Amino acid sequence: MALGSVAMALTGALAGCGGSSAAKAPPVTAVPAVGGTVTVGVDQAPSGCNPNTASGDTVADQLVLSAVLPSAFVINAAGEAQYDSALIDQAELQSTSPETVVYTINPKAKWSDGTPITADDFIYAWQHQRAVPLAETGGDANVASTAGYDDISTMTKSDQGRTLTVVFGTPFADWQSLFSDLLPAHVLEQTGWSPPCTTVTPSIDLSGGPYEIASASSSVVTLVKNPHWWGEPPKVAKIVIRVAAGPAQLARWMYHHSIDVAAPSYFDPTFLQDITAMPSVKSSMAISNTFLELEFATTGTTTGSATMREGIAYAINRQDLTDKVASWADVAIAPATSHLYAQGEAAYPATPTPLPANSTTTTTSAVPSTSTTISPATFPAQSNPAKEARVLATAGYERNLAGEWVDLSGHPLMLRLTVDDSDGWAIPTAALLVAQLRAQGFTVSTIPAASAQAAGENLTAGRADLALIPLHTTPFPTRTSAWYTPLLDLPGNTGAQDWSGYVSQSVDDLFTKAATKLDPVTAQPIYAEIDAQLWAHMVALPLFAEPTVLAWSASLTGITPGPYAPGLLSPVTDWARLVSEPSSYSGTPTLPGASDKSS
């Protein structure tokens, strides 16, 4: 049956015969079937074949490969980490002094070429993610993050590689975040840690999950059942992932039944109206784990002092930005109150935490902060022109007759804003932000960037004073140290994203301390103090959490949005097409491709 025909037939059957008082057809029960194809539409394409490298660490890569590559721990529907029983029989924290974790690998686990998955695959991942440079430590310069891996002192295999004992030289609270998206060591030993690939690749991304890659291009990735899969068998025979140009094309594809699921990274009111008007389509909206932030060049000539950053921040109406860009989709979205968490996360504060009275905020930036007058507990969501004027006057600026901010020599106060144009929410935000700043007397120019990293590099290199960048949170708060400290080396390497150049010894020490707290309850006050110091130094101005939407055909079951990227395919073994329950026999109905992986 052609794609979409099952959906239309089922919708018609479920609708019954309306408009008459005569005897109606008996109700039809829809049941999950085995087989068939589900086509998913996205608007971002995979960019690499190793999601643990900087080039492959994207939402698109992680989404596709979450059904292919094995991970020690996965995130459940509650946003909690739990070990994947298909890969791990047990993962136990056996000691805290020193921190020791023992992994028992499922003896049935194997790669799709028949090679067993063993401790060697874990050890290879550690060796290439623990540090740089390669010549000194066995690490690799192209890694998504060294966090946690660089705290491990030894990894010892036993029981013919089925047991792995990991000993940490320094305690690492988020040890469950390690060993995600494992790749086969016996393949990468031949190709290298970061093969020169521009999309997912079947010969490198061998499957250790329910699906394997049948083919991949820049616009279409096809997944089929992994014939060597030992876990719960998936029902759907084939998953096709198509890359669209944007939400408008995804809506057209849904309307014409060219796709069954639409998962845009950005959407507008037209997309939402189109999707909700389709009678056979279900949808779900939520607040994502991504928030948009305005970062300052803390070592820049213009924004090197907290006084200047504070003055600029008072000119910004975050409430207006939130209302016009995001809260039309979800009225619960409000101006952000945290540098570390996205709205909706359990640790997200209702208001920023004030600095303790005895707190120190020592910075070692090239141009030290000169102001700690910001009250982090009460920083306004709306602009405050009076405070803006007072602070900028203190910084040595005044308004000319045209209302423009100029220095004492009459030169205009120039701000260069770089924007991550790959983030659909950043683009309209940038237009409104520029208008606000110009209305408040700033001279502003914009610099487009192809990615968050490109925008960050503009900031680091001194080509921009401000950067509009999305930040993706995880259930593991230790990862946020990459945004505001040099603890992971220079920006752009090993997961470091401190594009602003901010360096504070006290913040570094607090992040280091929090990362060693194996009890998250004791770590939380430390993260709260970190956030308070970031507000006090106005390192960045968090704007709002981005909304997210998922739409799917009513003829499908098991489709659920995950709380964190790449959650969509995480419950893929639950996916199925719904068909009318057979009346002639009991059992599970089948669709084409139920037993043929290439159908």
- pLDDT tens for 331-381 read 999 999 999 999 989 899 876 655 554 444 444 443 333 344 454 556 899
Q: Count other C-beta atoms under 10 Å from residue 453's C-beta.
A: 19
Q: Is 293 helix (H, G, I), strand (E, B) or coil?
A: strand
What is the number of H-type helices and E-type strands within the chain?
15, 21
Say how far apart CA 422 and CA 434 lie, in whole Å. 18
pLDDT digits (tens, 9 = 90+) for 107-160: 999 999 999 999 999 999 999 998 755 444 555 668 888 999 999 999 999 999
Average pLDDT, the chain: 88
Q: Are 100 and 165 in contact (CB under 8 A)?
A: yes
Say how far apart CA 452 and CA 47 lie, in whole Å. 14
The mean pLDDT value for 283-308 works out to 94
Distances (CA, A) of 376 to 352, 433, 486: 6, 21, 23
Relative to beta strand 30-33, strand 576-580 is antiparallel
Q: Are 353 and 474 in contact (CB under 8 A)?
A: no
Kindly report the backbone phi and psi dihedral angles of residue 505, in degrees, each rounded to the nearest multiple of 5, phi listed first.
-60, -40
**Where are the alpha helices (H) located in 97-213, listed in sequence order?**
119-127, 134-137, 185-191
Distances (CA, A) of 469 to 426, 456, 563: 7, 8, 21
Given strand 30-33, what is the order of strands in its sheet?
30-33, 576-580, 556-557
Q: Which residue is it, tokens 């946003």? A: 79
Q: Count other C-beta atoms under 10 Å from residue 518's C-beta.
A: 15
pLDDT digits (tens, 9 = 90+) for 23-57: 555 566 888 999 999 999 999 999 999 999 988 88
Identify which of 68, 7, 557, 60 has the alpha carbon closest to the alpha carbon of residue 259: 7
Task: Name the CA radius of gyration of the chain, rounded.
Answer: 26
Q: pLDDT-derived band of residue 454, with 50, 70 and 90 as boundaries?
A: very high
Does the pLDDT value for residue 483 go beyond 80?
yes
Q: Is 69 helix (H, G, I), strand (E, B) or coil?
A: coil
Instruction: Name the pTM for this structure.
Output: 0.88
Q: pLDDT-derived band of residue 9, with 50, 70 and 90 as boundaries?
A: very low
Say how far apart CA 293 and CA 264 lie, in whole Å. 20
**Four-residue CA torsion sign, 417, 420, 425, 431:** positive
Percent of the chain with pLDDT over 70: 86
